[in-house]
Structure 1
């Protein structure tokens, strides 16, 4: 038999194929226990059925009735299956908190080192925080420009009092025309810049869903390149393209940079069949 591991993204369990109504096989039930057990190393306190239940990494609080509905099994079949897993030293069962707590004996074999996981989670959280901060900065810039634009419209400089002399009146009118023209030009430029920054923020937001698929450094480099403004600051580089499909552009960028798609933290499986564990699990 071939040795090694299969990395299975946790997004698999959100797929319609997994969630379709069906009677689970024993293998599917075992895999469901693995993906349902708490992944984080920190304990969790949760109110279940009116009881405060505490559980930690590799544990899953679930009643026989709940698993029966989840797997479309009879309660008797659930008890028999759990007894089998317990007998094969694949799980332990505890009811000390008044709730059935299932503990996967070798949970770390499926999910790696919890210390490494915590570090990766911390780094991802910091990077996500930086992205949110950049988005907020863009919003702040747009708000400031819109405020300046509104202020300029409200506080237009008053026209100079017209003098009775015909020559002076003509000069005053010409000055007013120049001032009004200049003010309008500045206002239009500020409005265009504000609109561009708003679109830039939208462009940034459109990239956020791809952070889990590609490295954050690549996404940021992609954004910096394609969001570069033209001289008049009214268009971004990507807006000057005749065609634009974001997923294809990202894939092409990743291919040219030789950047592999980022693999989500997932479940590592050797053999998900319970029968595999009859010897040396």
Structure 2
């Protein structure tokens, strides 16, 4: 399955999320949700620590309680994720820092921006003529996923057929 979905952190506040023990998939999603979406400074004891985007500070005990797992299961799962190069785990006496290796793939800043404030107004405004009058074709080539390219070609063919049918009537 290709593609992605945005997941709001509030998802963890409902009754569905509170059912324990978590599955491994649910625990993985939870790690993505726990990760900082931007760099942030936190206070830990007498230290101020910069926690980078895609990372967060926790402990195995906190994850045990959160997921309803044993310490062995939490440690084993985190080691599996680290061996699969999905996370980097750094542990010292005070904390465990978890960094999601490909966090940008899960939460890309550019595609997750909220809609413009006037989005509703914009979508309700009367639309101007959006035909392709005056557009000059150019030889711009953009490489893209073959499946996506195939999808685009099929949509283009369907649109062309629909436009021809409308012009004939």
* Fold equivalence (TM over 0.5): yes
- Find the partner of 2:35 among 21, 34, 37: 37
- Find the partner of 1:73 among 69, 87, 97: 69
Is the CA contact 1:53–1:99 (under 8 Å) kept in the aligned structure 2? no
Cα deviations across residues 230-269 of structure 1 (Å, max 9, x unaligned)?
xxxxxxxxxxxxxxxxxxxxxxxx7x659xxxxxxxxxxx
Find the counterpart in structure 2 of residue 88 from structure 1: 84
Find the counterpart in structure 1 of residue 117 from structure 2: 216
Aligned length: 126
Stretches of structure 2 lacking an aligned partner (at least 5 in a row): 127-169
The whole-number CA distance in structure 2 between the counterparts of 1:54 and 1:37 is 13
Stretches of structure 1 lacking an aligned partner (at least 5 in a row): 125-213, 222-253, 259-281
Label 1:5 to 1:21 Cα distance change in 2 as closer, same or farther (>3 A): closer
Give the superposed CA RMSD: 3.0
Label 1:257 to 1:5 Cα distance change in 2 as closer, same or farther (>3 A): same
Q: Does 1:55 align with 2:54?
A: no
Instruction: Report the Cα offset of residue 35 of structure 1.
Output: 0.7
Is the CA contact 1:53–1:97 (under 8 Å) kept in the aligned structure 2? no
Q: What does 1:1-281 align with in structure 2 at a 5 Å threshold?
A: 2-18=1-17, 20-40=18-38, 43-48=39-44, 52-95=48-91, 98-112=94-108, 114=109, 116=110, 120=113, 216-217=117-118
Cα deviations across residues 88-133 of structure 1 (Å, max 9, x unaligned)?
1111111368421001011100011x4x379x4xxx7xxxxxxxxx
Is the CA contact 1:86–1:93 (under 8 Å) kept in the aligned structure 2? yes
**SS state at 2:118 partner:** helix
Structure showing greater relative contact order (alpha-carbon pairs closer than 8 Å, 6 or more residues apart) = 1
The whole-number CA distance in structure 2 between the counterparts of 1:58 and 1:72 is 24
The whole-number CA distance in structure 1 between the counterparts of 2:119 and 2:32 is 32
**SS state at 2:77 partner:** helix
TM-score for the superposition, normalised by structure 1: 0.39
Instruction: Report the Cα offset of residue 60 of structure 1.
Output: 1.3
**Which structure's residues are more often helix, by fraction?**
1
Instruction: Report the Cα offset of residue 217 of structure 1.
Output: 1.4
Point out 4+ residue stretches in structure 1 off by more than 4 angstroms: none
TM-score for the superposition, normalised by structure 2: 0.61
Label 1:218 to 1:51 Cα distance change in 2 as closer, same or farther (>3 A): closer
The whole-number CA distance in structure 2 between the counterparts of 1:27 and 1:96 is 26
Find the counterpart in structure 1 of residue 149 from structure 2: none
Instruction: Report the Cα offset of residue 216 of structure 1.
Output: 2.4
The whole-number CA distance in structure 1 between the counterparts of 2:49 and 2:101 is 20
The whole-number CA distance in structure 1 between the counterparts of 2:9 and 2:60 is 24
